Structure 1
Amino acid sequence: MSPYLGPLRAFTAGFVDTVGFVALFGLFTAHVTGNFVLIGASIAEFHGGIVAKLIALPVFIAAVALTHLFVTQRQRRGVSPVAALTLFEALFLAAFMASGLAANPFTAADSPAAIATGMLAVTAMAIQNAGARSVFAALSPTTVMTGNVTQIVIDAVDLVAAPDKAAAAKARLTKMLPPVLAFASGALAGGLGYVHVGFWSLLLPLSAVMSAWWLLRRSAVPSA
């Protein structure tokens, strides 16, 4: 696979997660388990916005399950699902952007429009997460960065202090560092983009996903 796929996917996840958090009253769309912390905080401080965060996990689970079924069926037929999965993610991201543009400004975290908009983003990120555990397993994880950062620190120490582990550590650093930097860049770009142009900023991660789709389609075409 192209070395650009990991960074493109990580950039998308960081961007979308940030836009969802800022625009939809603290809803995590990629790191859905983070919503449990926010639910606890909402209960403790008597804030609203609990319904969308509660719904996010079952929607995420359902989308992951359906994505995995799709992948399994395609593989049984001997057809690669990677390009199709990327296209599905793009479609849900486009729907997220369109819904946000149509319904914004949101007046309440648990309004039907805010919940529906958020679940479109959750579905897009569920597709990316499911793909990361199956057809994109060769790439570094692109949505959960805590584990990546932990491994990067361990490998950086080994690179300096453990010469016998240096070669393997360098290989992992080369693989993991670009997606972490891309995710951070996406998060920063998502915050700045939403502040300046609102949901139109989602054109940037949508372009990243379509670029990944183009790379996958090109790699699937046999050379002449």
Structure 2
Amino acid sequence: MSGEAPGSVRTAALAAFTAGFVDTVGFVGLFGLFTAHVTGNFVLIGAAIVTHHTGIIAKLLALPTFIVAVAATSLFLRHCRRTGRPQVAPVLVAEAALLTAFMALGLTLGPFKGGDQPAAILVGLTGVLAMGVQNAAARTVFAHLSPTTVMTGNVTQIVLDLVSLTEGEISRADALARIRKMAPPVGAFALGAIAGGLGFAAVGFWCILAGIVAILAALLVNRPSGASV
């Protein structure tokens, strides 16, 4: 794919929406667990030690679970490359399936009284697995897209480009191209985060359907006839 095709912008926005949505649902519904921005759990572990909040076990297990998901996804994609099989569709289907499991387990096992309940930990780590797949895909088959799970780098680059434009330090076309690439995921992530909070407050884990639909929409955007990847 040359340039930043409309399909790429849509894919990045849909993935970022899902990440913001699922991260917020995990935080609100699972006692402060980050499922996408897993390193953020380190801060919460420190806070939990001091404040004696619940959920520290799930936060401790989030990183190794995330690593397993990333490693498994990488090995699967390597196998696909060796055998000449498609990579994009299976990864998106796997993420949608894990999000479905996340929702189903949350509905079946919840509500939870504390984050250290085995059932709450299981549900949370299922969400982490789903986001681990997305993170791995973002660095491999979707490496041409803007990052979709952590927005700090995107926001930093947008601000740098805006400042550079005022001083004429870089090519205006290059700066605007990067802004157009990174701004939609930032907006979509923020929208997903807001929708995730409101959705969970309204319907609980049923709201994960929105994330599943977003990933399935990304699958449609990236169908072979669409020439999106």
- TM-score bin (small chain): over 0.9
Displacement of 1:160: 2.1
Q: Report the residue type matching 2:30 in the other structure.
A: L
Within 1, Cα distance between the matches of 2:33 and 2:169? 44
Q: Which residue of 2 is the match for residue 110 of structure 1?
A: 116
Q: Secondary structure at the match of 1:4?
A: helix
Within 2, Cα distance between the matches of 1:90 and 1:46? 34
Count the aligned residue pairs: 221
Fraction of identical pairs, as percent: 58
Displacement of 1:80: 2.2
Pick from 134, 147, 172 the counterpart of residue 141 of structure 1: 147
Within 1, Cα distance between the matches of 2:225 and 2:90? 14
Within 1, Cα distance between the matches of 2:170 and 2:139? 30
Q: Which residue of 1 is the match for residue 182 of structure 2?
A: 176
Q: Which residue of 2 is the match for residue 64 of structure 1?
A: 70
Query: Does the 8 Å contact 1:85/1:127 carry over to 2?
Result: yes
Q: Which residue of 1 is the match for residue 215 of structure 2?
A: 209
Q: Secondary structure at the match of 2:68?
A: helix
Supply the RMSD in Å over aligned alpha carbons: 1.3
Q: Report the residue type matching 1:59 in the other structure.
A: T
Pairwise mapping of residues 10-89 of structure 1 onto structure 2 (< 5 A)? 10-89=16-95
Query: Does the 8 Å contact 2:31/2:54 carry over to 1?
Result: no
Which blocks of at least 5 consecutive residues in structure 2 are unaligned? none
Pick from 8, 27, 46 the counterpart of residue 14 of structure 2: 8
Displacement of 1:69: 0.2
Q: Secondary structure at the match of 1:143?
A: coil
Q: Which residue of 2 is the match for residue 125 of structure 1?
A: 131
Displacement of 1:159: 2.0
Structure 1 residue 90 and structure 2 residue 90: aligned? no
Displacement of 1:218: 4.2
Query: Does the 8 Å contact 1:13/1:186 carry over to 2?
Result: yes
Displacement of 1:219: 3.5
Displacement of 1:165: 2.6
CA-to-aligned-CA distance 1:57-86 (integer Å, 9 cap, x gap)? 000001100000000110111122111000
Q: Report the residue type matching 1:75 in the other structure.
A: R
Within 2, Cα distance between the matches of 1:44 and 1:64? 31
Pick from 142, 145, 153 the counterpart of residue 159 of structure 2: 153
Displacement of 1:187: 0.2
Which blocks of at least 5 consecutive residues in structure 1 are unaligned? none
Q: Report the residue type matching 1:186 in the other structure.
A: G
CA-to-aligned-CA distance 1:108-141 (integer Å, 9 cap, x gap)? 1011110000011000000000000011000000
Q: Secondary structure at the match of 1:205?
A: helix
Within 2, Cα distance between the matches of 1:83 and 1:166? 35
Query: Does the 8 Å contact 2:65/2:129 carry over to 1?
Result: yes
